C-alpha cells in the first residue's frame, strides 16, 4: 500500500511522456486497454447520456468509443500534446468538446449525468483527491452515474494506487449519503466501480 503523502503529478510529467512516445501507455494497441474499454462501456447502465464528462482523456481512444453513447461529451486533459491527438482523432464528432484542464485545480461548472474517472485518480495527491471528490459530487446530477476504472498494481511514480482511489470513493459514498455503490468488477490488473447519485 502506498502511504506516502506525495504531491499530484505535474502536467510536465505527462508532456514529457507524450514527447517521448505518442502513445506511452499503448492505448491504441494494448489488449489490456481494449478489454478494459469494453468492460467500461458495458458497465454503463444507460445506453445514452445527455451530458458526460471524461476526466483525463489522453489521446482520445476511449473518448471516441464513449462519444457514441453521449449527446454531449466534455473531454479534458492537462497535456496539450495529448489533447491535440485526441482532437485529431475526433475531428468528425462535433458533439465532443475538448479543453485543457488540470482537475481539480480547474473544474467545469456544468451539470453531468455521467462522469468518468478512468486511469487518472492515482495521479492526485490525497488533498487533490478530496477536492476532486467534492467537485465531482457537486456537478453530478441526481441519478447521474460516476464510473471509476483504474490499474491496480503499484507504480512508484504515482501518489496513490488504484485501490486507494476506489476505497476513498467508497468511503465518500458511505459518508455522504449522496452516492450509492451499484457495481464492482475486479480483474487481474484493474478494478471498476460504478456509483449513482441519490435523487433529490
The enclosing domain of 150 has a CATH number of 3.40.50.150
**Is residue 13 situated within a structural domain?**
no
Q: Which helix (H) or strand (E) holds 183?
A: strand 179-186
How many whole angstroms separate alpha carbon 114 and alpha carbon 54? 8
How many whole angstroms separate alpha carbon 87 and alpha carbon 108? 19
How many whole angstroms separate alpha carbon 78 and alpha carbon 8? 12
**Is residue 1 situated within a structural domain?**
no
Contact 114, 148 (CB under 8 A): no
Q: What range defines the domain where residue 43 resides?
A: 31-197
Taking only the tens of pLDDT, the chain with its 200 residues reads 445 689 999 999 999 999 999 999 999 999 999 999 999 999 999 999 999 999 999 999 999 999 999 999 999 999 999 999 999 999 999 999 999 999 999 999 999 999 999 999 999 999 999 999 999 999 999 999 999 999 999 999 999 999 999 999 999 999 989 999 999 999 999 999 999 999 97
**Is residue 186 situated within a structural domain?**
yes
Contact 176, 140 (CB under 8 A): no
**Is residue 17 situated within a structural domain?**
no
Tally of domains within the chain: 1
**Is residue 160 situated within a structural domain?**
yes
**Is residue 185 situated within a structural domain?**
yes
Amino acid at each position: 500500500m502506498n502511504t506516502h503523502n506525495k504531491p499530484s503529478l505535474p502536467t510536465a510529467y505527462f508532456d514529457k511522456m507524450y514527447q517521448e512516445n505518442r502513445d506511452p501507455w499503448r492505448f491504441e494497441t494494448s489488449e489490456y486497454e481494449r478489454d478494459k474499454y469494453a468492460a467500461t462501456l458495458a458497465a454503463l447502465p444507460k445506453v445514452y447520456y445527455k451530458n458526460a464528462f471524461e476526466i483525463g482523456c489522453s489521446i482520445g481512444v476511449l473518448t471516441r468509443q464513449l462519444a457514441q453513447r453521449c449527446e454531449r461529451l466534455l473531454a479534458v486533459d492537462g497535456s496539450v500534446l495529448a489533447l491535440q491527438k485526441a482532437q485529431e482523432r475526433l475531428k468528425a464528432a462535433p458533439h465532443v468538446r475538448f479543453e485543457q484542464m488540470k482537475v481539480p485545480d480547474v473544474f467545469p461548472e456544468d451539470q453531468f449525468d455521467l462522469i468518468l474517472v478512468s486511469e487518472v485518480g492515482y495521479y492526485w495527491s490525497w488533498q487533490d483527491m478530496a477536492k476532486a471528490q467534492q467537485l465531482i459530487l457537486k456537478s453530478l446530477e441526481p441519478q447521474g452515474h460516476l464510473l471509476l476504472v483504474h490499474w491496480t498494481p503499484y507504480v512508484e511514480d504515482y501518489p496513490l494506487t488504484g485501490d486507494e482511489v476506489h476505497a476513498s470513493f467508497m468511503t465518500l459514498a458511505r459518508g455522504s449519503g449522496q452516492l450509492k455503490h451499484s457495481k464492482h468488477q475486479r480483474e487481474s490488473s484493474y478494478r471498476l466501480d460504478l456509483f449513482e447519485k441519490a435523487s433529490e
